[in-house]
Amino acid sequence: MAEKHLFIGLDVGGTSVKMGLFDKGGELLGKGSVPTPPLIDADGYHAVTDGIAALLAAASESADNVNGIGLAIPCPVPADGVIRMQANIQINAPGLADALERACPAAAVKFENDANAAAMGELWAGSGKDYQSLVFVTLGTGVGGGVVVDGHVVGGVVGAGGEIGHLCMNSDEERTCGCGGKGHLEQYASATGIVASYKAECEQRGLEPVELEGPSDSRSVFAAASAGDEAAWAAIDTMCDYLGRALAIIACVVDPQAFVLGGGTSNSSNLFMERLLASYRRYAFAVSADTPIEIASLGNDAGIYGAAFVALQAAEDAA
């Protein structure tokens, strides 16, 4: 019997750790999740390793066949692997890595930023599987991204590679971005940015905005646009103008085979894609104007796929 090579992807979020078990070809063999504990002590580590044990048992697989474990985490992962900045989670990476290596002795363990991992997931098994280079952009409450060149994610020295949402696009902006800067792409192209632009357009036009469920309820703005709300369309045009210009700038640096859009806002691409393509082509360097812009296909599973692929690459590098 041929030796099995299995890989586990962990997507560590603020509320849950999603888990996926994969073979080397990218086939998903099983999924699971556990509530996210503080990953700083034995209790937290055991919650994750117990979840992995349950995942393997459900698939009738042995921990000895796990060659790699990847973790997608919501913070920058520098080139040296030492995590210095954390957001929305508590994690002791060396302690967790040790616990995972004890649970699966043959596994290489690798951490990756969650947006970068999602980019790798789309490259491995999603909309980017026909490419070797792509730029993944997540359009959600904020704007994140992942840059993949020659099949490997570009993390950067301090882990800031792919922080697309914090490109400074408007030096005259007075409002402050969540990171403390001003005029960043996230302030215009995120769900929160779309809602803010919509409210500003309504105020300027003396119109009452549609009922919104919160500061990032871009879905209601897109629904309003579908119903003919001109202020909503103006907000969407603002989003497309800034995002198209940002992608054109990125294309001049990375020259990817494709851009892939994910996140909740991408679900409304039927309403904005033509406008975004027009904006991108208006700003793009001529030879890059036909770079395709596609929609991600893995949804919420992109993180576990990408984390597993990162683990596969780490295992191959260690071999």
Calpha distance 256→280 (Å, rounded): 14
More confident residue, 245 or 89: 245
Average pLDDT in the chain: 93
Mean pLDDT across 293-303? 95
Q: Which two tokens stand for residue 236?
A: 């969407």
State the pLDDT confidence band at 119, using cuts at 50, 70 and 90: very high
Mean pLDDT across 226-245? 98
Q: For position 77, what pLDDT does the model report? A: 79
State the pLDDT confidence band at 158, using cuts at 50, 70 and 90: confident
Kindly calculate the radius of gyration of the chain based on its CA atoms and give it in whole angstroms: 20
Q: For position 91, what pLDDT does the model report? A: 87
Q: Which two tokens stand for residue 111?
A: 């951490």
pLDDT at 130 over 50: yes
Q: Whats the size of the chain, residue-wise? A: 319
State whether the Cα torsion 85-87-92-97 is positive or negative: negative
User: Per residue in 161-219, pLDDT tens?
Assistant: 999 999 999 999 999 998 899 999 999 999 999 999 999 999 999 999 999 999 999 99
User: Per residue in 30-51, pLDDT tens?
Assistant: 999 999 889 999 999 999 999 9
User: Per residue in 39-86, pLDDT tens?
Assistant: 999 999 999 999 999 999 999 999 999 999 999 998 777 777 677 666
More confident residue, 295 or 37: 295
Q: For position 81, what pLDDT does the model report? A: 66
Calpha distance 146→287 (Å, rounded): 22
Q: For position 1, what pLDDT does the model report? A: 42
The answer to whether 140 and 267 have CB atoms below 8 angstroms apart is no
* Architecture label for domain 130-297: 2-Layer Sandwich (3.30)
User: Per residue in 1-24, pLDDT tens?
Assistant: 446 899 999 999 878 999 999 999
> Taking the model in full, what pTM does it have?
0.89
Q: Which fold has domain 6-121+300-318?
A: Nucleotidyltransferase; domain 5 (3.30.420)
Q: For position 75, what pLDDT does the model report? A: 79
The answer to whether 55 and 21 have CB atoms below 8 angstroms apart is yes
Q: For position 84, what pLDDT does the model report? A: 64
Q: Where are the alpha helices (DSSP H) in 106-229?
A: 114-125, 186-189, 191-205, 218-226
Cα angle 135, 137, 143; round to 5: 145
State the pLDDT confidence band at 29, using cuts at 50, 70 and 90: very high
Q: Where in the sequence of the chain do the CATH 3.30.420.40 domains occur?
A: 6-121+300-318, 130-297
Q: Which two tokens stand for residue 127?
A: 């909309």
